[in-house]
């Protein structure tokens, strides 16, 4: 084993006793002692052993990557480390931990070998962006990708933001119309964030404030119209409320793209009244259609009678048509040559009638 290192104190202390002090002459006068430089510790190594050992010193807020023959071997924490030299030798790379950012030329594959207490890994999805905070202060906006940060005294926080088209629903909004009828309205709209930094720095809970703005716009419109007008102008209500929301979108750093009224739910008693009115309207429409069809049928019969009266051939054809219909339901009919066909059929049918 190499000899252990030792060191002097760098100072000389005087001995306490009855004799003269060191540095004093026979007359008792004292002289200022000589000063010596401090002695630094030096390891005592035989030259042959030193040639076979390589050392590396890792300071505070550092760690070292140890490579043997160019292959990663391990991580060295703070302190002084010594290794025996082998074929190819040892190489080391010091990593500074004063900053959480990883150097651009750092081999990415080594993160699979490093212990997790040295770094933190963050994934930003393709449909996201990330706000990076260092010690609670916004530093930058990160694009989609995978990021690694060294674990240092600097606190690293990431706030993920969705970049996709988002949807907000206003369900069950009970609003009173101008004629004092309470309606329950469901409204929906879509939006996209336009400024991912200012929306977090200048607005507290932008989603809640956007929800309230949509509620106020909807209530302001419904309160100015009667029930019948709202039911008749549902598309107009969707258009005007959406236009008002779009004008407010820039205040919340969002872009509102589309929206409209999904449902208008009536109270139970109003629903029953509306159903009664609708049923009465449909019955009246059915009666009108029935009367119109009866008039058309009567006119058709009148026109047919006039044609038969004016044209005997047409009358004979009509007789044959009726005879065909009768024969379809009767097994056999016997007629003679006296009288017309219709008169004989009438006589046959009259025989089967009961006498009054």
H/E/C letters for each residue in the chain? CCCCCECCCCCCCCCCCCCCCCCECCCCCECCCCCCCCCCCECCCCHHHHCCEEEEEECCCEEEEEEECCEEEEEECCEEEEEECCCCCEEEEEEECCCCECCCCCCHHHHHCCCHHHEEEEEECCCEEEEEEECCEEEEEECCEEEEEECCCCCEEEEEEECCCEEEEEEEEEEECCCCCEEEEEEEEEEEECCCCHHHHCCCCHHHHHHHHHHHHHHHHHCCCCHHHHHHCHHHHHHHHHHHHHHHHHHHCEEEEEEEEEEEECCHHHHHHHHHHHHHHHHHHHHHHHHHHHHHHHHHHHHHHHHHHHCHHHHHHHHHHHHHHHHCCCCCCCCCCCCCHHHHHHHHHHHCCCCC
Inter-axis angle of helices 341-351 and 312-327, nearest 10: 40
Side-chain-side CA neighbours of 326 within 13 Å: the count stands at 14
* CATH code of the domain made up of 166-265: 3.30.479.30
Spatial strand order of the sheet with 62-68 comes to 71-76, 62-68, 90-96
Per-residue pLDDT of the chain (356 residues; tens, 9 = 90+): 333 333 333 333 333 344 444 444 444 444 444 554 554 545 545 666 667 788 899 999 999 999 988 899 999 999 999 888 765 688 999 999 999 999 999 999 999 999 999 999 999 999 999 999 999 999 999 999 999 999 999 999 999 999 999 999 999 888 999 988 889 999 999 999 999 999 999 999 999 999 999 999 999 999 999 988 998 888 999 999 999 999 999 999 999 999 999 988 888 777 777 778 778 888 888 888 988 888 888 888 888 888 777 777 777 777 777 777 777 776 666 666 566 666 666 666 555 555 54
**Domains of the chain, residue spans:** 166-265
Cα four-point dihedral sign 309, 314, 319, 324: negative
Cβ-based neighbour number of residue 254 at 10 Å? 23
- Cα separation of 296 and 311, whole Å? 23
- pLDDT at residue number 344: 65
Q: Residue 280: what pLDDT?
A: 85
The CA distance from 215 to 203, in Å, is: 18
How are beta strands 53-58 and 79-84 bridged, if at all?
antiparallel
pTM, 2 dp:
0.60
């Amino acid at each position: 084993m190499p000899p252990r290192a030792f060191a002097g104190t760098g100072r000389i202390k005087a001995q306490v006793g009855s004799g003269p002090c060191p540095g004093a002459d026979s007359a008792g006068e004292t002289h200022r002692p000589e000063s010596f430089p401090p002695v630094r510790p030096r390891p005592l190594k035989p030259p042959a052993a030193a040639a076979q050992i390589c050392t590396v010193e890792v300071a505070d807020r550092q760690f070292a990557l140890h490579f043997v023959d160019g292959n990663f071997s391990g991580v060295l924490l703070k302190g002084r480390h010594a290794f025996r030299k082998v074929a190819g030798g040892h190489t080391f790379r010091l990593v500074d931990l004063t900053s959480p950012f990883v150097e651009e030329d750092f081999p990415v594959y080594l993160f699979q070998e490093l212990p997790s207490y040295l770094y933190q890994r963050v994934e930003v999805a393709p449909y996201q962006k990330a706000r990076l905070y260092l010690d609670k202060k916004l530093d930058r906006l990160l694009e989609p990708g995978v990021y690694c940060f060294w674990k240092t005294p600097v606190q690293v926080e990431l706030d993920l933001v969705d970049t996709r088209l988002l949807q907000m629903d206003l369900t069950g909004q009970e609003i009173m119309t101008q004629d004092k009828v309470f309606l329950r309205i469901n409204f929906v709209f879509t939006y996209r964030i336009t400024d991912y930094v200012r929306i977090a720095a200048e607005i507290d809970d932008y989603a809640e404030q956007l929800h309230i703005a949509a509620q106020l716009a909807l209530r302001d419109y419904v309160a100015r119209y009667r029930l019948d007008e709202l039911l008749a102008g549902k598309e107009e209500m969707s258009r005007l409320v959406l236009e008002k929301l779009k004008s407010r979108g820039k205040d919340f750093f969002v872009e509102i793209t589309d929206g409209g009224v999904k449902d208008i739910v009536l109270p139970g008693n109003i629903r029953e009244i509306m159903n009664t009115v609708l049923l009465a309207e449909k019955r009246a429409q059915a009666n009108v259609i029935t009367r119109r069809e009866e008039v058309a049928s009567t006119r058709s019969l009148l026109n047919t009678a006039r044609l038969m009266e004016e044209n005997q051939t047409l009358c004979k054809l009509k007789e044959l048509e009726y005879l065909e219909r009768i024969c379809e339901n009767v097994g056999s009919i016997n007629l003679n040559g006296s009288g017309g066909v219709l008169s004989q059929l009438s006589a046959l049918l009259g025989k089967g009638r009961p006498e009054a």
